[in-house]
Amino acid sequence: MILSCQNISKSFGTDVILSGASFHIEDHEKAAIVGINGAGKTTLLRIIIGESEPDTGVVALTKGKTLGYLEQHQDVNSTQTIYAELLSVKQELLQMEQRLRAMEHEMKQLTGDALSDLMEQYNRVSVEFEHGNGYAIRSEVVGILKGLGFSENEFDKQICTLSGGQKTRVALGRLLLSAPDILLLDEPTNHLDLNSIAWLENYLMTYSGAVLIVAHDRYFLNRVATKVLEIDNGKLSVFSGNYSAYAEKKAQLREAAWRAYLNQQQEIKHQEAVIAKLKSFNREKSIKRAESREKMLEKIEVLEKPTEIRSDMHLHFTPQITSGNDVLTVEHLSKSFPGNPLFSDLNFTIRRGERVAVIGDNGTGKTTILKILNELIPADTGAFTLGSKVHIGYYDQEHQLLHMEKTLMEEISDVYPDMTNTEIRNVLASFLFTGDDVFKRVSDLSGGERGRLALARLMLSKANFLILDEPTNHLDIISKEILEEALRNYTGTVLYVSHDRYFINQTATRILELKNQTLINYIGNYDYYLEKVEELTKIYSSAPTPAADQSATSSSSKEDWARRKEEQALARKRQSELKKTEERISFLEERSAEIDVLLTQEEVFTDVQKCTELSQEKADLLLELDGLYEKWEELY
């Protein structure tokens, strides 16, 4: 066991956040904390790291173990570059490396006992350096940065110039490099694209330490988590297995609890009716029997009513009118910003009833496409056409369509002036805004609350074509499930951008992947996309362009064939060089180990000439290894 939390309680005023929460995390265990927004997930993490004090309870970290924490938001203004920032995590090993180089240089100047003493010291430092995986420092930094979605031309960017999301990714990279015994991650997937999330999943699944994650990404939790800690109305419950196993068990427990509660309520009502009837007889014997039953009823331990599933957020998208069959036609659409071409010559159509997900890496232009379709920014070239009777409802991930200075009531009434205050209150209540909440300013709302308000506005629009940009951002799992069901029941058309693979899997009928400045079409949900991505990408890349003539197609095919052959030849050559480099590294490392053993033997370290020869060989060998390690990094 690496972490133990016993009887943790925390309240803010009259709001009980945690009540008697107890759990433990084993070495190497991967656990997830789930619950609705505001349940206390982040509060629990802050109590564990000591940033917040519990009202009662004890947090115990096993002696000698280290803990690392990733917050949701980062405010870092370092002038260091991204690469230097991550490399600084390994400062101790870098200093050790400098000492080794200095000692290697000094060896060439020494002989006799001085050389032997230095060699002994060198061996100790070298073993420690190897044990810390010192030779792989730079490749490890590069691997993590690329895994988190940074391209090599971004490595030299200063931290202070980055966006909030990029700073969070840098902080995550630093944390992974520091490799604490237990990682505490608060929404680690928020600013990652699909490829980076998949990379992080694999990284955490094979991570040697323990992991405790707060996340709303169900696909991510399914792959990583082996235990789920649920916070519900201040109580913490522990479930073994991943998110799907938790959801199934939770549903079973909820059903059993409701059945027991309803059965008991029925029995109580039955007994009360019998007591009333006996008393109505107004006879001594029947009154005594009624009193006896009353005493028995008083002794019953009444079950609490199970908490309702958060289905009280009522979301129903209903188009006011039906659009034509052809909802959207996009032709030859292109867009670039200075020094950053996003996409060119995009062509696609969307028909009524389709639910189309646009996926792709961060920065490829997915949100830009949606903004062009909503005429918020112009395209460089190309055009799009909306079909007959198409009315767009737009949800933007930054909620820029909301007015920060307005109250919730004003936000709805100004857009829909014909609605009465009672009607507005009823709508807001269906999105969990009740009482004085309706007089809050939009600027005072959390990200999740703004998301719910934007969904309320969208529902009232009665649009028949919904364009959604990251609609699940800031929503808790139950709100996501309600949105999923609303979209599945929607009779209109949907085009959306999302990184939430579970959400895509539940709602998409078609996927458009924005890759290499063009779109690749997949007819199906996310599971289908995963199955077909390699096969369909090959088909797409070899398919002739309809507008091109036969000769151009033939010429293009030949060029493609020649290019592929050249790429294959280069790949084979690279693989061959990599193999030779690895074999040479293996040979030199074995020889280095042999020299270390020889230098401990009395007949060697008492022979100054032999000792000098071996020391020189060791120094030359390490110099060659340095070059080989760099070459291996370039080839791998």
What was the pLDDT predicted at 547?
A: 47
Q: Which long-range contacts (CB under 8 A, 24 or more apart) does 235-241 make?
A: 235/19, 235/20, 235/21, 236/8, 236/18, 236/21, 236/22, 236/23, 236/44, 238/23
Q: How confident is the model at residue 552 (pLDDT cuts 50, 70, 90)?
A: very low
pLDDT at 164 over 60: yes
pTM of the model: 0.69
What was the pLDDT predicted at 133?
A: 83
User: Sign of the CA dihedral 281, 282, 285, 290?
Assistant: positive
Mean pLDDT of 372-393: 94
- Quote the CA–CA distance of 553 and 559 in Å, as a whole number: 10
What was the pLDDT predicted at 634?
A: 64
Q: How confident is the model at residue 551 (pLDDT cuts 50, 70, 90)?
A: very low
| End-to-end Cα, the chain, rounded Å | 37
- Quote the CA–CA distance of 238 and 251 in Å, as a whole number: 14
- Quote the CA–CA distance of 348 and 328 in Å, as a whole number: 8
Note the pLDDT tens digit of each residue in 345-363: 999 999 999 999 999 988 8
74-78, 156-160, 324-328, 381-385: range with lowest mean pLDDT: 74-78
Alpha helices in 282-313 (DSSP H): 284-299
Higher-pLDDT residue of 198, 585 = 198
> 15-25 and 3-12 as β-strands: parallel, antiparallel, unpaired?
antiparallel
pLDDT at 511 over 90: yes
Percent share of the chain, pLDDT over 90: 42
- Quote the CA–CA distance of 609 and 135 in Å, as a whole number: 30
* β strands within 470-624, DSSP E: 493-497, 510-515, 518-522
What was the pLDDT predicted at 525?
A: 92
Q: How confident is the model at residue 175 (pLDDT cuts 50, 70, 90)?
A: very high
Mean pLDDT of 512-527: 91
* β strands within 233-371, DSSP E: 235-240, 326-337, 340-351, 355-359
Torsion of CA 120, 124, 130, 131, to 10 degrees: 150
Mean pLDDT of 111-123: 86
pLDDT at 624 over 60: yes
- Would you state the structure tokens that stand for residue 37, as one six-digit string? 């927004």
Note the pLDDT tens digit of each residue in 38-48: 889 999 999 99
What was the pLDDT predicted at 76?
A: 67
Q: How confident is the model at residue 473 (pLDDT cuts 50, 70, 90)?
A: confident
- Quote the CA–CA distance of 559 and 582 in Å, as a whole number: 34
Q: How confident is the model at residue 553 (pLDDT cuts 50, 70, 90)?
A: very low
Comparing CA positions, the residue from 511, 501, 408, 506 lying closest to residue 455 is 408
Q: How confident is the model at residue 565 (pLDDT cuts 50, 70, 90)?
A: low
- Would you state the structure tokens that stand for residue 243, as one six-digit string? 């998110």
pLDDT at 245 over 90: yes
58-72, 323-337, 441-455, 563-577: range with lowest mean pLDDT: 563-577
Contact call for residues 39 and 231 (beta carbons, < 8 A): yes
Contact call for residues 189 and 220 (beta carbons, < 8 A): yes
Mean pLDDT of 19-44: 92
Higher-pLDDT residue of 123, 74 = 123
pLDDT at 415 over 70: yes
Q: How confident is the model at residue 308 (pLDDT cuts 50, 70, 90)?
A: low
pLDDT at 540 over 70: no
pLDDT at 505 over 90: yes
pLDDT at 549 over 50: no
Contact call for residues 464 and 321 (beta carbons, < 8 A): yes
Higher-pLDDT residue of 311, 4 = 4
pLDDT at 203 over 80: yes
- Would you state the structure tokens that stand for residue 539, as one six-digit string? 């088909």
Note the pLDDT tens digit of each residue in 183-198: 999 989 888 888 889 8
What was the pLDDT predicted at 541?
A: 56
246-255, 438-447, 462-471, 557-566: range with lowest mean pLDDT: 557-566
SS3 sequence of 404-444: CCCEHHHHHHHHCCCCCHHHHHHHHHHCCCCHHHHHCEHHH
Q: How confident is the model at residue 633 (pLDDT cuts 50, 70, 90)?
A: low
Higher-pLDDT residue of 614, 630 = 614
Mean pLDDT of 480-500: 92
270-279, 324-333, 363-372, 454-463: range with lowest mean pLDDT: 270-279
What was the pLDDT predicted at 604?
A: 77
Q: How confident is the model at residue 572 (pLDDT cuts 50, 70, 90)?
A: confident
What was the pLDDT predicted at 349?
A: 95
Helix axes 550-598, 526-542, angle to 10 degrees: 110
- Quote the CA–CA distance of 230 and 217 in Å, as a whole number: 15
Q: How confident is the model at residue 141 (pLDDT cuts 50, 70, 90)?
A: very high
Mean pLDDT of 409-433: 89
What was the pLDDT predicted at 306?
A: 77
Mean pLDDT of 477-499: 91
Mean pLDDT of 130-144: 88
Give the count of beta carbons closer than 10 Å to the beta carbon of residue 228: 23
Comparing CA positions, the residue from 104, 121, 189 lying closest to residue 617 is 104
Q: How confident is the model at residue 307 (pLDDT cuts 50, 70, 90)?
A: low
Q: How confident is the model at residue 216 (pLDDT cuts 50, 70, 90)?
A: confident
pLDDT at 558 over 60: no
What was the pLDDT predicted at 629?
A: 62
Q: How confident is the prediction for the chain on average, in pLDDT?
A: 86
pLDDT at 557 over 90: no
